[in-house]
Structure 1
Amino acid sequence: MLRWILGGREANSSVEKSPVLCIGEEQPKNWFTELQVLRGHFDIVRFLVQIDDFRCASAGDDGLILVWNIETGERLQELRGHSRQITAITTLNCNDGLMSHTFLITASSDRSVSLWDPDTGNRVQTVSDLQSSVKCLLVLERLCVWLSGGEELCVWNKDFQLQCHRQNHSDTGISALIELPKNCIAAAMDKEIIIYRLTFSTDSSMSLSEVYCLTDHQDQIRALINVVDGVFASGSHAGELILWDAVDWNILAYEHILWEESQPCAQAEIRLKAPRHSEMSIQHLTTNGKLILAAVGSGLYVYSLLTRTVVAYRKVAHDSNVLHTMLLSDSELMSCSEDGSVRMWEIQDLPLPDEHASAGFFGMWTFSRTNKQTGPPTKKVIEVPNIRTLELTGDLIGHSGAVQMFLSFRENGLVTCSADHLLILWKNGERQSHLRSLALFKKLEENGGL
């Protein structure tokens, strides 16, 4: 495999790189053998959002929003208007009955929110002089409204007219929003999840009311996602993962991800010395409806919703904290890290002879608040005979700074963004070679041969 190194990559953690995680030049399961560097940003690129099958938008600390063609790597539009860093970005689909059009909504620390047309690059709507910076955005297509969260929660219609709002009482503000059934919204605020209900009056006006407060986390909530219909999940800085009933807001499961006391271990990747607090933090959660993938410190954990067991995990998957994850299939996944790496993994039926799943990670499932673990966790190791391993199948070397996130366009490629101000478009080398050959033959036919 051709490996491209654009700059030196230094580990941001005291954890030494394990030889178990090293992968050689031969990576038969890594199809990303061709890359294209996309330049245009001049500060950290933090966000990627997919517009359609062939376009994405990137945004970050330079306040720019760039629209890219992922087939060619061409920069299609440069959206300028924000004076400070972008803090959130999402898409808004508008359907007039005949055709659908996708817009972009962006929020910035300049206390403004804007609506953009990615086809023309024009700013269609903008709201400025907000009370505070917006940290997260949520579009409710079914209700034809969108929400912005920060120090206050605001509900807007598609014409950017404020419908209703509520002031929050948390110093940290709202960090994440998800949609729940029955016109409800879950908002993560520091250690709490506030449930709001959106009500429509007979005169078409809207009101937002706080109906419940979930206070079971002991530390700041870092991740909040919908899992399947009727279930959502949250993860905290202290390694707590809670599954919730999305209708009744009861706890379906409470687990605390633990590190066992130091013990002799044959696997070079395992570091069982006393971890730092950040090593337990859940930075990211993702799901495909069958599995939940959790980024915990520098490690990865895979949980099956069907069997309600851990199916695979690796405590040290990267040299530094994992920032973003993705499930490619039921057996393949990807992760990126502060150390600048992007890695591909496969769940394999290989035993872990010396490492066992902790009792603290998805080990016991409870179905009521009263059963929640309240005291200090017990450092007990439970043997899980059916546990499988995450084997490294690909290591994408290209970024020289922390990789913030990535987007998959399936056979069309993968896009990554980084603190090095770059985007990289990763392609299937064999497929690209085949496409170039077809294009060449077509051109020869049009020109009547050589």
Structure 2
Amino acid sequence: PAPAPVGGQASRPEPAGLKREGLTGRVSRELWASRGFGPVGLSAQPRPRRPPRWLRGFSSELLPWAEGWWPSWAGSVLRRAERAAALPSSVTQSHIWPQKSPLQTIGEEQTQNPYTELLVLKAHHDIVRFLVQLDEYRFASAGDDGIVVVWNAQTGEKLLELNGHTQKITALITFPSLEACEEKNQLILTASSDRTVILWDCDTGRQVRKVSCFQSTVKCLIVLQRLDVWLSGGNDLCVWNRKLDLLCKTSHLSDTVIFQLVAPTEESLEWDILEIKRLLDHQDNILSLVNVNDLSFITGSHVGEMIIWDILDWTMQACECNFWDPSPQLDTQQEIKLCQKPNDISIHHFTWDEENVFAAVGRGLYVYNLQMKRVIACQKTAHDSSVLHVAKLPNRQLISCSEDGSVRIWELREKQQLAVEPVPTGFFNMWGFGRVNKQASQPIKKQQENATPCSLELIGDLIGHSSSVEMFLYFEDHGLVTCSADHLIILWKNGERESGLRSLKLFQKLEENGDLYLAV
């Protein structure tokens, strides 16, 4: 007989033919009820997710797994399976299930991956898109729920929650105080789709000032600390001071333009923005821009063009358009238009060091040497989906995150040169048996010249998010922080370091209580 309803509510009937024997033994009535099938009323527990169509005909013992215990890697597999179920039978399985994936994998024993512990932080109710480091132990997060949360990077404690926006946040940036200023409170600026910008005090959680005179959504913010001003970019470009007074602005922006900000002088007491040059060398929209040094900056476009510009005369220093194949090819533009989708070659993000530029291009990672002006290493399929963020770490390491929900750690290594084939000598060489075939050796020599001198080797794969990982932060002492479309933030900790800290705290506590006895 069906169990009696709880609290006067009708209970959900148990599915016909569904056993209570799980994969590891008998499932208790409490666990069964928590999954939504027991005597618990419909309003007492949230409705569990239904399994996909392709899984509903499988063994009933797999149903509890399908009801919510999703592995972090199962998303892409389930999407492929659902697409396969919707296709006609005439379509072969090879169109959905590739025979061999070019994605580099790593085993469970990730000996070079230090991040063996994780801490899940829950505070947001929508996609978390932005992270910004406040100091050595604090960071702030923001996303589509319009909330800004300040966290302790060491303990994962939620310090502050800043509420002031009514729509999703579109930009987040720190606003450092001047060195001469006595007040050293940490300030941040947030922009939102509600067409407002708010200045926050992260030490107190107080809303310092708010601007709501924008005609369109502000999509980016930048601070010029030397001039103590900040800029907002949307349909127009505006310059503001610390008191959030508008200093000057431009007209409607339609092209890629280089502007010069003119500060007040004795002759002119007003701020002004002057147009210097329009950049017309890109064939499509520019998605990423970064300053490399005091002499050059780099732009990346939707069709995979990377251009290095001279800051002094605004001329093009170098251009790289062969990210899909580092070796020179004929008719590469025609080939890429026929064989590649635009998202497969879009440059989403840049990072750099003194020698190289690291580019997230489509699903791949590319290392471009500034001195050699060529790609020296690449991983064409670093992730299953587009790479959204990349950062350089010490010890020639690189971290990338992707729409596929993974965070991967790479190491830049130099390839070992192939040994030169010795010149054959002896009896057989007298009759030509050991003579080197020059025609056969020419393609090999050409291949060695075009090959990249370095490689990106996978040394760590962090699986914890169930959806797209938007970006991450790196703390030298506190590990890695990632944010995702699954509404979660994860602190990835160095397991060996955390274990040592716990042991040290334990010994200190025992010593304080007088319970520590040292062996003589």
Fold match by TM threshold 0.5: yes
2:424 is aligned with 1:340: no
Conserved in 2, the CA contact under 8 Å of 1:349 and 1:389?
A: yes
**What is the CA deviation profile of residues 150-205 of structure 1, one whole-angstrom value per residue up to 9, with x for unaligned ones?**
011110000111111112242xxxxxxxxxxxxxxxxxx5xx24333334243642
Q: Which residue of structure 2 aligns with residue 122 of structure 1?
A: 206
Percent identical among aligned pairs is: 51
1:373-408 Cα deviation digits (max 9, x unpaired):
xxxxxxx98943552211110000000000000000
Q: Aligned to 2:261, what secondary structure does the other structure show?
A: strand
- Which amino acid in the other structure matches residue 416 of structure 1? T
**Equivalent position SS for 1:57:** strand
Q: Is it true that 1:77 corresponds to 2:141 in the alignment? A: no
**C-alpha contact (below 8 Å) 1:197/1:211 kept by paired residues:** no
Asked if residue 417 in structure 1 is aligned to residue 483 in structure 2, the reply is: yes
* Structure 1 segment 373-392 matched on structure 2, within 5 A: 383-385=449-451, 387-392=453-458
CA contact (8 A) 1:146 1:157 kept: yes
- SS of equivalent to 1:28: coil
Match for residue 289 of structure 1 among 347, 354, 374: 354
Aligned residues of 1:94 and 1:101 also touching (Cα < 8 A): yes
The question of whether the paired residues in 1 share the 8 Å contact of 2:103 and 2:382 is answered with: no
Give the drift of 1:301. Answer: 0.3
User: Which residue number corresponds to residue 162 of structure 1?
Assistant: 246
Which residue number corresponds to residue 75 of structure 2?
A: 9
Relative distance call for 1:169 and 1:412 in structure 2 (3 A) is closer
Alpha-carbon distance in structure 1 between the residues aligned to 2:283 and 2:97: 26
Secondary structure of the 1:292 match is strand
Question: Does 2:432 align with 1:349?
Answer: no
Indicate the residue corresponding to 1:217 in structure 2.
Answer: 282
The alpha-carbon distance between structure 1 residues 107 and 382, as it changes in their structure 2 partners (threshold 3 A), is: farther
Q: Aligned partners of 2:299 and 2:97: how far apart in 1?
A: 27
- Higher Rg: 2
Query: In structure 1, what is the equivalent of residue 92 of structure 2?
Result: none
CA distance, structure 1, for counterparts of residue 464 and residue 233 of structure 2: 34
Counterparts of 1:303-382 in structure 2 under 5 Å? 303-329=368-394, 331-350=396-415
State how far apart, in whole Å, the 1-side matches of 2:376 and 2:206 are: 47
Secondary structure of the residue aligned to 2:240 is strand
Aligned partner of 2:262 among 198, 202, 217? 198
- Which of 140, 146, 153 in structure 2 is aligned with 1:63? 146
1:138 aligns with 2:222: yes
Alignment of 1:229 with 2:313, yes or no, is no
1:400 to 437, 462, 466: 466
Equivalent position SS for 2:142: strand
| 1:21 and 2:104 are equivalent in the alignment | yes
CA contact (8 A) 1:401 1:420 kept: yes
- The normalised TM-score by structure 2 is 0.71
Contact 2:405/2:469 (CA < 8 Å) preserved in 1? yes
CA contact (8 A) 2:351 2:358 kept: yes
Deviation at 1:285, TM superposition (A): 0.9
Aligned residue identity for 1:196: Q
Q: Give 1:395's aligned amino acid.
A: D
The residue identity in structure 1 corresponding to 2:272 is: S
Which stretch shows the higher mean deviation, 299-308 or 334-343? 299-308
2:257 and 2:276 in contact (8 A); partners too: no
The RMSD of aligned alpha carbons is 2.6
Taking the TM superposition and a 5 Å limit, the aligned residue runs for 1:260-275 are 274-275=339-340
In structure 1, what is the equivalent of residue 306 of structure 2?
241
Deviation at 1:213, TM superposition (A): 1.0
Q: 1:386 to 1:401 in 2, by over 3 A?
A: closer
Distance 1:322 1:255 in 2: 19
| TM-score when normalising by structure 1 | 0.82
Instruction: Work out whether residues 260 and 272 of structure 1, in 8 Å CA contact, stay in contact via their aligned partners in 2.
Output: no
Distance of 1:92 and 1:258 partners within structure 2: 36
CA distance in 2, matches of 1:80, 1:137: 19
Question: Do residues 91 (structure 1) and 155 (structure 2) align?
Answer: no
Residue of structure 1 equivalent to 2:231: 147
Aligned counterparts of 1:98 and 1:31: Cα–Cα separation in 2: 40
Relative to structure 1, is the Cα distance of residues 335 and 258 closer, same or farther in structure 2, using a 3 angstrom cutoff? closer
- Structure 1 159/390 Cα, relative in aligned 2: closer, same or farther at 3 Å? same
Superposition deviation, residue 298 in structure 1: 0.3
Which structure features the higher share of helix residues?
Answer: 2
